[in-house]
Amino acid sequence: MATVLDSITEGVREDLAGRKAAVSLRDLEEQIAAAPPALDAHAALAGGRSDPAGVRIISEVKRKSPSKGDLAEIPDPAVLARAYQAGGASVISVLTEARRFSGSLADLQAVRAAVEIPVLRKDFMVDPYQFYEARAYGADLVLLIVAALDDAQLRDYLALTQELGMHALVEAHTVEEIERAVALGAQIVGVNVRNLKTLEVDVTHYAAMAQHLPEHVVRIAESGVEGPETVRDYAAQGADAVLVGEALVRNGEPELAVKEFRAASRAQTPAKETM
């Protein structure tokens, strides 16, 4: 039975065929050669567990989602990205998938030109061509979804990402996927509390999975953030960084929201009262 993830990746492949016909790999390689090197996303995200300033925040430019529909118009992603940076975001995530998220490579390019911090191309990476696109349009970091890739693909895509000077946020949802990611050399591992096969969200899932993340990887908590309390809880469970989309794009003051999220992550979880 086909899952939501299967349906999305099918559409991604269809759209990719059109872009391949329009822009050759050689053209992308020439763009990459003329561009400045990628920023160090690993350094930007590492150490959030022990940082007295709070966990790192990956702030997302996200217009739409399959589960919630339209989230925000975002007429100028560069303006939003600058607000995120001013609020203290460590990385800006940009959705580039068009059908389900209304994103584009133009959004990625606009954000890259607007900020001085690393930028994540958040998409469903299923073909080597997409990695050249990502670097050509300014990405410093790409998303690799373990559930969408076999071991050979994941290994090859990690190597290609490194070859192009970028880092990879390797996204897992189960213990088995975490183990696969780590065994194949992932340095930045995200646990998505939204199951991409069903779109169900369970914020307690991060705590269940976090104990399986080794100390040497950068730990990212993804999805499910409704407010500062969620960020605080993820921080208490050992996250180095938290990826936030909907709660920021729907907030009328994104700069202030990022500051609040970081501040909240420093707060201690209140002790439960005992009888």
pLDDT in tens, 189-208: 999 998 877 888 999 999 99
Considering only CA atoms, which of 1, 275, 3, 38 is closest in space to residue 165?
A: 38
Question: What pLDDT sits at residue 268?
Answer: 56
- Catalytic pick from 65, 195, 223, 251? 223
Considering only CA atoms, which of 243, 184, 191, 194 is closest in space to residue 213?
A: 191
- Catalytic pick from 133, 177, 222, 246? 222
- Catalytic pick from 192, 195, 251, 265? 192
Q: Is residue 171 a contact partner of residue 192, using CB atoms and an 8 Å limit? A: yes
Report the predicted TM-score, pTM, of the whole model to 2 decimal places: 0.93
Considering only CA atoms, which of 234, 244, 238 is closest in space to residue 264?
A: 234
Break the chain into its structural domains and give their ranges.
Answer: 4-273
Question: What pLDDT sits at residue 271?
Answer: 40
Question: What pLDDT sits at residue 269?
Answer: 47
Known catalytic residue at 171:
yes
Which parts of the chain have pLDDT scores under 70?
268-275
Q: Determine if residue 165 is left, alpha or beta; phi over 0 gives left, psi from -120 to 50 gives alpha, anything else beta.
A: left
For tokens 């104990």, name the residue.
Answer: 211
Known catalytic residue at 7:
no
Known catalytic residue at 195:
no
Known catalytic residue at 222:
yes
For 4-273, which CATH superfamily applies?
Answer: Aldolase class I (3.20.20.70)
Question: What pLDDT sits at residue 272?
Answer: 39
Question: What pLDDT sits at residue 241?
Answer: 97
The residues that bridge with 194 in the sheet, in sequence order, are: 201
Q: What does each C-alpha distance from 126 to 101, 108, 158, 219, 222 come to in angstroms?
A: 17, 18, 12, 23, 20
| Paired tokens of 171 | 């996204």
- Catalytic pick from 122, 133, 177, 246? 122
Known catalytic residue at 163:
no
Phi, psi of 141 (to 5 degrees): -145, 140
- Catalytic pick from 64, 65, 102, 171? 171
Known catalytic residue at 68:
no
